[in-house]
Amino acid sequence: MGLRYSESLKLSFDFCDVKADVKLPLLLAHCLTVSARQSAEIGRGNEVLLQQYGLIWVVTDYDVTIDRMPRFGETVTIETQAISYNKLFCYRQFHIYDQAGHVIMTILSHFALLNPKTRKVAMIPDDLVAPYQADFVKKIKRPIKIDELQDPMVQAYQVRYFDIDMNGHANNSKYLDWMYDVLGHEFLLHHRPCHLTLTYIKEVKPSTQITSGYHLEQLTSYHEIRSLGQLNAQAVIKWQPITTKESETN
């Protein structure tokens, strides 16, 4: 297991939705910021990575297990560590703790190294990841295979200027925004996610139009993002209905 790093976060108004739950896309984005600060602290920040190795980290997969959603005004602790790596992927885990020290969310993320000029995946140098103290494992963790949707409900979105990050493509959080949005206000108001599997396949480019397609089967939603005739991302989200008692406490 790797070197641990943690930060606290107080959930402010802009971090939370109408139910006072944390906005999951924003929380995932903040977790990446926390991991970037750990990297900078051990001399493996983004500038070092680009200048010395000519590479950048990209997230390829998320697997998120949610015991409960963090809430507005709550202070949570985000603990992260790079737990293992192989020649192609590095696996980083995040634990979200409440103020009582209970784990309320676990996030497993898969990272790959990308050459920003060629947009091709690079092998992971051992000396690059050595400061993280992660274990080398030969076996590659394969995410679950998600079938492409047949006749999904579809909504189109224009990719906006502020959707694009410094890597030159749509920020990772935007994909989940688009996936959430098609479910509609009423569904999201009365349900909370308990598990998420998200796979990034191909980058969404600036000034394009994407389609967010979904199929809802009882309390599981299946999602895909497409643009320019290509599949960009897929996800499966499991939901729990919010009880009347829970609604009264919101």
Residue type at position 171: N
Q: 167 pLDDT band (50/70/90 cuts)?
A: confident
- For residues 2 and 67, state if they share a domain: yes
What is the mean predicted confidence (pLDDT) over 175-189? Answer: 98
- For residues 126 and 191, state if they share a domain: no
Point out the domain boundary residue: 85, 109, 142. Answer: 142
Comparing C-alpha atoms, which of 230, 176, 229, 228 is closest to residue 199?
176
Q: Using one digit for the tens of pLDDT, what is the confidence trace for 28-61?
A: 999 999 999 999 999 999 999 999 999 999 999 9
- For residues 135 and 34, state if they share a domain: yes
Instruction: Classify the C-alpha dihedral 33-39-41-43 as positive or negative.
Output: negative
Planar angle of CA 166, 17, 223, nearest 5 degrees: 65
Query: What's the pLDDT score for residue 246?
Result: 63
- For residues 42 and 151, state if they share a domain: no
Q: Is the pLDDT of residue 143 over 90?
A: no
Query: What's the pLDDT score for residue 159?
Result: 98
Query: What's the pLDDT score for residue 53?
Result: 95
Q: Is the pTM of this model over 0.75?
A: yes
- For residues 3 and 106, state if they share a domain: yes
Mean pLDDT of the chain: 95
- For residues 180 and 87, state if they share a domain: no
Q: Using one digit for the tens of pLDDT, what is the confidence trace for 221-250?
A: 999 999 999 999 999 999 999 986 665 555
CATH of residue 63: 3.10.129.10
Q: Is the pLDDT of residue 12 over 60?
A: yes
Number of structural domains (the chain) is 2
- For residues 137 and 150, state if they share a domain: no
- For residues 110 and 159, state if they share a domain: no
- Which residues span the domain enclosing 111? 1-142
- For residues 184 and 133, state if they share a domain: no
Comparing C-alpha atoms, which of 238, 212, 235, 217 is closest to residue 146?
235
- For residues 121 and 203, state if they share a domain: no
Point out the domain boundary residue: 114, 142, 170. Answer: 142
Report the C-alpha gap between 157 and 146 in whole angstroms. 23
How remote is the C-alpha of 31 from its chain's centroid? 8
- For residues 56 and 31, state if they share a domain: yes
Instruction: Specify the residue for token string 């000029």.
Output: 117
Point out the domain boundary residue: 142, 174, 193. Answer: 142
Helices (H) and strands (E) in the chain, counts: 6, 12
- For residues 177 and 125, state if they share a domain: no
Report the C-alpha gap between 212 and 60 in whole angstroms. 18
CA-CA distances (angstroms) from residue 72 to 21, 101, 192? 6, 17, 15
